[in-house]
Amino acid sequence: MPTMNAIRIESFGGAEVLHLQQIPVPVPNPGEVLLKVHAASVNPVDYKIRSGKYPAVREDKLPYILGRDVCGIVEASRSSKFAVGDSLYGVPGIERGGYAQYVILKEDEAARKPKTLDDVAAASVPLAGLTAWQGLFRYGDVKVGQRVLIHAGSGGVGHFAIQFAKAKGAHVITTVSTDHVEFALRLGADQVINYKKQQFETEVSDIDMVFDLIGGKTQDNSWSVLKKGGILVSTLTAPSPEKAAQFGVRGTRFTVTETGSELAEIADLIDAGKVRPKVSDTFALKDAALAQQLIEEGHTEGKIVLTVDQV
């Protein structure tokens, strides 16, 4: 039976529980492809899973391969949609990790890689890109001319959200720290608030949608900047229904779903030159622990990617 290198955890804990192991190469079922992974990106959800703080992955799922987005070449196909040799990017389901030389992708979890990106840049897109896309358009229903406030605009999700909202024709405001103000402006934000020096709740008002990627006090202080009928969309803490009612607005929390058709739309925007991912650093697969530590420290600009070919 052929084997592959993969980063797995056999127990929850710190970065020290990540181990490079040899395990069998998976076999695709009908409607699936076997992807030879060239690159896989690192996301905050990875260290949350690793530390045992992600409800969807408990001890009964161990040992477990981490990694939620990948880019590579189809090695074997049982899909009518994708053929051997196709370059794909996608989000493996939560039960299948991308920190590995091969991964199974269901055909509705993937799309053809953007033609204008290399594999490393393309691998940085799927999970963060879909989170930004679904938050803005599926849940926030952002339209042309609306005012959108995006918290944490320099991070993985945030830097895509700024570009998507601008491509849609929205007026985009974002909060970042001092070091990332210029980056946010280059992404196209109309107004950048340095939260180290300014309080966003005194700087903006009449907002149609707040995209909350921080939670806590930031979420609490966001209600007052929304216009009547506006919406607060969070990837973290579920917004308070009582607070929403108090301010005459709406609030919702969501978890991203793997959607190949939306990845195809994102690829079109990238190839049209309207969106560009930022990869701040790359690591070999064996150095996944270092990559996760960097993400866990926070304040990363854009994304960090594992080059899986470099074991």
Report pLDDT digits (tens) over 244-264. Answer: 999 999 999 999 999 999 999
Residue 128: predicted pLDDT: 97
CA–CA gap between residue 185 and residue 209 (Å, rounded): 20
Which CATH number applies to 3-125+277-307: 3.90.180.10, 3.40.50.920, 1.10.760.10, 3.40.50.150? 3.90.180.10
Report the alpha-carbon angle 296-139-103, nearest 5.
50
CA–CA gap between residue 308 and residue 288 (Å, rounded): 10
Residue 1: predicted pLDDT: 84
Q: At what angle do helices 156-168 and 126-133 cross, to 10 degrees?
A: 50
Residue 272: predicted pLDDT: 98
Q: What is the rounded average pLDDT for all residues in the chain?
A: 96
Contacts of 70 (CB under 8 A, 6+ apart): 35, 37, 39, 40, 89, 90, 91, 92, 98, 103, 105, 123, 126
- Average pLDDT value for residue range 118-140: 98
CA–CA gap between residue 175 and residue 226 (Å, rounded): 15
Residue 310: predicted pLDDT: 61
Give the model's confidence band at 311: pLDDT under 50 very low, under 70 low, under 90 confident, else very high. Answer: low
Q: Evaluate if residue 91 carries a pLDDT over 60.
A: yes
Give the model's confidence band at 280: pLDDT under 50 very low, under 70 low, under 90 confident, else very high. Answer: very high
Tell me, yes or no, if the pTM score tops 0.85: yes
Closest CA to 9 of 44, 18, 287: 18
Beta bridge partners of 39: 71, 307
10 Å CB burial of residue 115 (0-12, 13-18, 19+) is: exposed
Residue 300: predicted pLDDT: 84
Beta bridge partners of 70: 40, 90
Instruction: Reply yes or no on domain 128-253 having CATH 3.40.50.720.
Output: yes
Domains in the chain: boundaries:
3-125+277-307, 128-253
10 Å CB burial of residue 229 (0-12, 13-18, 19+) is: exposed
